[in-house]
């Protein structure tokens, strides 16, 4: 809740974080609680009910390098970098992925096998500079 309130603070629509928090409680309390319940259920699934391997949710922090092997682009602009050698950076995660750790052998150690790719938005897709304006690249939406 506090993190969502901090996001709203960035818009400048509320004079205080407390107001932002009250807004979120009024609008999305039930939805957030539902998400947290599912998260707790998933915690039990990963800790107790799945014992053959380690399963985990995948999340990409903003600024990390896009990797098509474990991520998909929200705007579907291709899993490969736009240009060879370039590194697209992640602006945010919009859908969590799922992976499980497997033993890759004595040299490789433990590897993460991707079961569901993390969906991300890339900085290049959300940041367009045209005459100083910043915004979503509408041609890719």
Partner 1 sequence: MFNFSSFSTTISSFLDFPPPSREIQDDLLTDSQDRLASPSAKPSGRPGNETEERGAGTSRSREVRQLQREIEDLKVRVERRGNEIVRLRGEEEKLIRKCRRRDDRIMELEHEIGQMCGLYQEDVQRQTQHTREVEERLQRTEELLATRSAELSGAHAFLSTTDRLSEAEVLSIVRDLNENIYQVAVNLTEEWEKLESSQVISPMDVDSDPTSRPSVPALVQLAHNRDPTGLTFLFQSCLCSQVVSMTSGWGHHQELAILESVHQRLSASGEHRVVHPRRNLTYIS
Q: Position of tokens 């005459």?
A: 131
Binding-site size, partner 1 (CB under 8 A):
66
DSSP output for 70-104: TEEETT-S-SS-SSTT---BEEEEEE-EEEEEEE-
Q: Does residue number 111 form part of the binding site for partner 1 (CB under 8 A)?
A: no
Q: Which of residues 22-61 bind partner 1 (CB under 8 A)?
A: 23-24, 27-28, 31-32, 34-36, 38-59
Q: What angle do CA 98, 99, 102 make, to 5 degrees?
A: 165
Q: Which of 66, 71, 74, 88 binds partner 1 (CB under 8 A)?
A: 74
Report phi then psi at 99, rounded to 5: -135, 165
List contacts with partner 1 (CB under 8 A): 3-4, 7-8, 10-13, 23-24, 27-28, 31-32, 34-36, 38-59, 62-63, 74, 91-98, 100-101, 103, 109-110, 115-116, 119, 121, 123, 126-127, 134-136, 141
């Amino acid at each position: 809740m506090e993190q969502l309130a901090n996001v709203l603070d960035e818009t400048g629509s509320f004079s205080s974080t407390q107001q932002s928090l009250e807004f979120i409680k009024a609008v999305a309390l039930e939805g957030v609680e539902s998400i947290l319940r599912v998260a707790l259920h998933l915690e039990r699934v990963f800790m107790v009910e799945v014992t053959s391997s380690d399963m985990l949710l995948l999340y990409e922090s903003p600024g990390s390098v896009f990797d098509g092997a474990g991520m998909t682009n929200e705007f579907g602009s291709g899993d490969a970098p736009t240009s060879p050698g370039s590194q697209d950076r992640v602006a945010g995660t919009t859908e969590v992925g799922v992976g499980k750790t497997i033993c890759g052998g004595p040299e490789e150690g433990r590897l993460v096998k991707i079961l569901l790719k993390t969906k991300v938005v890339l900085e290049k897709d959300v940041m367009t500079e045209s005459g100083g304006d910043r915004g979503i690249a509408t041609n890719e939406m």
